[in-house]
Each structure stands twice: as structure tokens, then as C-alpha cells.
């Protein structure tokens, strides 16, 4: 049996699918995976023995620009990505039994699965990405935002998706002999999307019309040891505050403010350089810079985590039982996770566009309060770690029956 996984985005988009890949391989499934062509993704997949299929332009170059792309540039970029997917995915899916995709950017995938006659599964990592009157759609780069009610905003969101993608999608579908699609977003999402998020940290709201399968977050155990110099820094004093914004460039001055407010409370600081290559170390021995390290090992040793609100960072901090201060820019699911942290009272949240030294100091004060740490620890004890395993078995249970020899330790799929 063979499964194709596909996503386009930063590390936060790629890692959950890698967790699913690991679980599928443990069940005897051959896995291929489409990702951006960035070298770090190729190396990560190669290290796990997963066949990598590059699709589209490098994502890091897009995220690391000194100025954000214009709306026109983003529109052209999205159309070119659809063309690239239709060019690559059909051959990548050859011989596969299922195609699992993550993210709205996977516009071509369902058509490719339809043409090949294989199962299609759409997954998202945050409930906010799926239509519901209980929340507004996430901010999408380059598209206008509305102040209307949630239902109206989801209708406007569907119109924007159609305006961007319907023509290129249907042009390629016609070439495959497939009928046109009227509602692109609903077509990509399918009528039974999967939600790879922890049911305590990011639940799907009850009583919704859309049938959503919530599996739990897709994570894999990171066995990497912490670097020796980082271990020495941690051992040299009280638990520090972590400041890092992953692949996101924070609002100007926010990272520096986070370092200063942490110091003002007497805390040492760990600065994660991230894709923005944050350069905040000033020679003082209370501030230490790190590159990519094992967050699963690190976060439990910290006083608090100040971050951008990525799904993976939020999940890892929650599992570690460490308080969080989330300072997102208004993009994708980052504001949603900030809201979830604040609503659960396991930290505090700010709008990265309006945060100041004073509001950051108040947010850190909230996060460092004993009652906040107690709630964070209690939540960490309840966070699930079996989401990828659950999803892998669910996927195989929905495929045609295979010989029990294909799946060691389990009976034949129904």
C-alpha cells in the first residue's frame, strides 16, 4: 500500500504530516510526500527515509523578504502554485491508494485524486480554518478583511477563494476530463475534513453543520538531545523565558521588547533566531541565542514561552505545561491560537500590531503568575500524543481491505 501526503508551507505545515508519515510507515505503508523544495525539508524527509517530491517555489525565500509581497504578487504566486501542483501531483500519486493534503493551498489535490480514482482526505491543524458561525475565517495574506458577522465573512471568504482559484482549477480539470467546480473552498475541504488539533486545546465547536473528524494533533517524539552549550546555560541559573517566532517575522521591535520585559522581571532569556534570524544577543551572560533545537525537551525547563502562535509551538508548550505569551501578527491561525491560550488561562495573548513594552510586561506578568503555571501544568497532563497514530489507523480503515501481512499486529481493514 502507498500513500501520498502533500502540503505547502513552513515547518509548521510540514511537521504534522511527517508525524503521520512515521505512523503509516510503522503500519507497513509506503509513503511519499510533496513539500516546498527548500533544502531543510529535503534533508528532514531523507533522514526519515521518506520519498520527497518538491512542488512549487521555495517557501523560505517568500517568508524572509524584507517587505511583504503585494496582493498582486500573492495572486500570481497562488495561480503558479496551482499550475505546479497539476504538473507534479499526478505522477507523484501514481500507484497510490490515498492522497492526504494539509492546507487550503492544496487546490489541485482533490482533482488529481478524483482522476486517479483514489481516496482524498483534507486536513487542517486549527478549527478556525473551517467554516463555522462560531468564528470568523482566518486572515489570509493579501485579501481584504471584513467587519461583518461571521456567517457573512465566511461567504465573502468563499467568494475570494473562487475569484482566485476557480478559473485555473477548472481549466486543469477540463484537461483531465473532469466537470467544473462551482465552490472551490468547499471542494478542497470536502464534506468530511479532518482536524489534527488537540480536542482540549483546539476543539471543533459542537453543534456544527460540517462533519469534522478530530483526531488529535499530529506529533512525533523528538529524541534529539539539547546542545551542550544550551544545557550549560540552562543549568547555570533559574529557568529562562523563551522568545521565538518560528518562520514568522514578528512586528518591528516586538522581539526586543520581549527580551527587555523578561530581563526587567529578573529572568534570563533564550532567543530562538528562527527564519527571521533574530539577532538580539548583546554580550550579556543572561541572554543566549539558539537555532533549531528540540522543543519537546526544552520547553519543560522554561519559565514561559513567548511566541507567534503557530499550531506546533502552541501544542508543544501546552504539552510541556509551560505558560505562554502569544504575540501573533494577523495571519493564518496565529490569532486563533493566541485566543485559545488566553481563553484557557494558560497564558496571555496580544495583537502583534499594537503590542507595546507595557502590554508585553503585563502579559508576561499574567503568564508567570503561580495560578497560570498551575493551569498550564494541569492542561499539559491532559494533552494527547496519539493523534498521528489515530489518523493513520483511521486512514487505513477507510481503504480497501488488504492482507493482514501488510499491517503487522492488526487485523484486516474492514
Question: Is the same domain home to 19 and 113?
Answer: yes
Decide if 216 contacts 386 (C-beta within 8 A): yes
Residue 158 pLDDT grade (very low, low, confident, very high; cuts 50, 70, 90):
very high
Residue range 344-363: average pLDDT? Answer: 93
Residue 339 pLDDT grade (very low, low, confident, very high; cuts 50, 70, 90):
very high
Predicted confidence (pLDDT) at residue 402 exceeds the cutoff of 60: no
How far from 407 is each of 5, 221, 411, CA to CA, in Å?
19, 22, 8
Question: Is the same domain home to 394 and 376?
Answer: no
Residue range 77-93: average pLDDT? Answer: 96
Task: Residue 373: give the domain boundaries.
Answer: 228-382
Question: Is the same domain home to 101 and 77?
Answer: yes
**Between 337 and 274, the higher pLDDT residue:** 337
Residue 66 pLDDT grade (very low, low, confident, very high; cuts 50, 70, 90):
low
Instruction: Look over the chain and give the mean of its residue pLDDT values, rounded to a whole number.
Output: 91
Say if 413 falls within a structural domain: no
pLDDT of residue 237: 96
For 86-100, write each residue's pLDDT tens digit: 999 999 999 999 999
Question: Is the same domain home to 12 and 24?
Answer: yes
pLDDT of residue 281: 67
pLDDT over 70, % of the chain = 95
CA neighbor of 60 nearest in space, from 8, 101, 7, 102:
8
Question: Is the same domain home to 265 and 179?
Answer: no
Decide if 355 contacts 305 (C-beta within 8 A): no
Say if 369 falls within a structural domain: yes
The total number of structural domains that make up the chain: 2
Pick from 6-10, 17-21, 372-376, 398-402: least confident: 398-402
Residue range 101-106: average pLDDT? Answer: 94
Question: Is the same domain home to 198 and 288?
Answer: no
Residue range 209-218: average pLDDT? Answer: 96
Look up residue 313 and give its three cell numbers. 509551538
Say if 197 falls within a structural domain: yes
121: left (phi over 0), alpha (psi -120 to 50) or beta: beta
CA 203/CA 213 separation, integer angstroms: 11
pLDDT of residue 412: 30
Which long-range contacts does 345-353 make (Cβ < 8 Å, 24+ apart)? Answer: 345/372, 345/375, 346/318, 346/372, 346/375, 346/376, 346/379, 347/304, 347/323, 347/372, 347/376, 348/324, 349/309, 349/325, 350/325, 350/326, 352/250, 352/251, 352/254, 352/308, 352/327, 352/328, 353/251, 353/329
Residue range 175-190: average pLDDT? Answer: 97
CA 154/CA 133 separation, integer angstroms: 8
Q: What dihedral angle (degrees, nearest 10) is formed by the CA atoms of 214, 347, 8, 277?
A: -160
pLDDT of residue 401: 59
Q: What dihedral angle (degrees, nearest 10) is formed by the CA atoms of 185, 340, 392, 396?
A: -50
Predicted confidence (pLDDT) at residue 60 exceeds the cutoff of 50: yes
Question: Is the same domain home to 209 and 297?
Answer: no
Say if 128 falls within a structural domain: yes
Q: Which CATH number fits the domain that encloses residue 126?
A: 3.40.50.2000
Question: Is the same domain home to 191 and 210?
Answer: yes
Look up residue 247 and give its three cell numbers. 518562520
For 28-48, write each residue's pLDDT tens digit: 999 999 999 999 999 999 999
Say if 62 falls within a structural domain: yes
CA 75/CA 144 separation, integer angstroms: 13
Predicted confidence (pLDDT) at residue 413 exceeds the cutoff of 50: no
Say if 79 falls within a structural domain: yes
For 317-335, write each residue's pLDDT tens digit: 999 999 999 999 877 899 9
Amino acid at each position: 500500500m502507498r500513500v501520498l501526503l502533500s502540503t505547502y508551507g513552513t515547518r509548521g505545515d510540514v511537521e504534522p504530516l511527517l508525524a503521520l508519515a512515521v505512523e503509516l510507515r510503522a503500519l507497513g505503508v509506503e509513503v511519499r510526500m510533496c513539500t516546498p523544495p527548500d533544502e531543510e525539508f529535503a534533508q528532514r524527509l531523507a533522514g526519515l527515509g521518506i520519498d520527497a517530491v518538491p512542488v512549487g517555489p521555495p517557501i523560505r525565500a517568500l517568508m524572509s523578504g524584507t517587505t511583504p509581497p503585494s496582493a498582486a504578487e500573492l495572486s500570481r504566486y497562488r495561480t503558479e502554485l496551482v499550475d505546479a501542483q497539476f504538473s507534479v501531483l499526478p505522477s507523484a500519486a501514481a500507484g497510490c491508494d490515498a492522497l492526504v493534503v494539509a492546507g487550503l493551498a492544496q487546490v489541485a489535490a482533490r482533482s488529481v485524486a478524483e482522476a486517479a480514482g483514489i481516496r482524498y482526505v483534507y486536513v487542517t491543524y486549527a478549527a478556525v480554518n473551517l467554516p463555522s458561525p462560531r468564528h470568523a475565517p482566518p486572515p489570509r495574506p493579501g485579501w481584504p478583511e471584513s467587519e461583518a458577522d461571521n456567517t457573512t465573512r465566511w461567504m465573502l471568504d468563499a467568494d475570494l477563494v473562487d475569484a482566485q482559484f476557480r478559473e485555473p482549477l477548472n481549466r486543469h480539470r477540463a484537461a483531465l476530463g473532469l466537470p467544473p467546480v462551482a465552490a472551490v473552498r468547499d471542494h478542497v475541504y470536502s464534506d468530511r475534513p479532518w482536524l489534527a488539533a488537540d480536542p482540549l486545546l483546539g476543539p471543533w465547536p459542537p453543534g456544527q453543520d460540517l462533519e469534522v473528524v478530530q483526531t488529535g494533533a499530529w506529533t512525533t517524539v523528538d529524541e534529539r538531545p539539547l546542545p551542550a552549550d544550551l544545557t550549560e546555560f540552562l543549568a547555570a541559573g533559574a529557568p529562562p523565558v523563551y522568545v521565538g517566532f518560528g518562520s514568522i517575522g514578528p512586528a518591528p521591535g516586538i522581539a526586543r521588547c520581549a527580551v527587555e520585559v523578561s530581563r526587567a522581571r529578573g529572568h534570563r532569556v533564550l532567543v530562538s533566531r528562527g527564519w527571521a534570524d533574530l539577532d538580539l544577543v548583546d554580550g550579556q551572560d543572561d541572554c543566549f541565542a539558539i537555532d533549531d533545537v528540540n522543543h519537546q525537551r526544552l520547553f519543560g525547563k522554561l519559565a514561559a514561552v513567548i511566541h507567534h502562535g503557530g499550531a506546533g509551538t502552541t501544542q508543544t508548550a501546552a504539552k510541556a505545561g509551560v505558560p505562554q505569551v502569544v504575540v501573533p501578527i494577523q495571519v493564518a491561525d496565529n490569532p486563533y491560537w493566541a485566543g485559545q491560550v488566553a481563553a484557557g488561562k494558560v497564558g496571555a495573548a496580544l495583537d502583534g500590531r499594537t503590542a507595546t513594552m507595557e502590554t508585553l510586561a503585563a502579559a508576561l506578568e499574567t503568564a508567570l503568575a503561580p495560578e497560570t503555571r498551575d493551569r498550564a501544568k494541569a492542561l499539559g497532563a491532559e494533552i494527547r500524543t496519539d493523534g498521528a497514530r489515530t489518523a493513520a489507523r483511521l486512514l487505513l480503515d477507510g481503504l480497501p481491505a488488504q492482507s493482514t501481512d501488510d499491517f503487522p499486529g492488526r487485523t484486516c481493514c474492514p
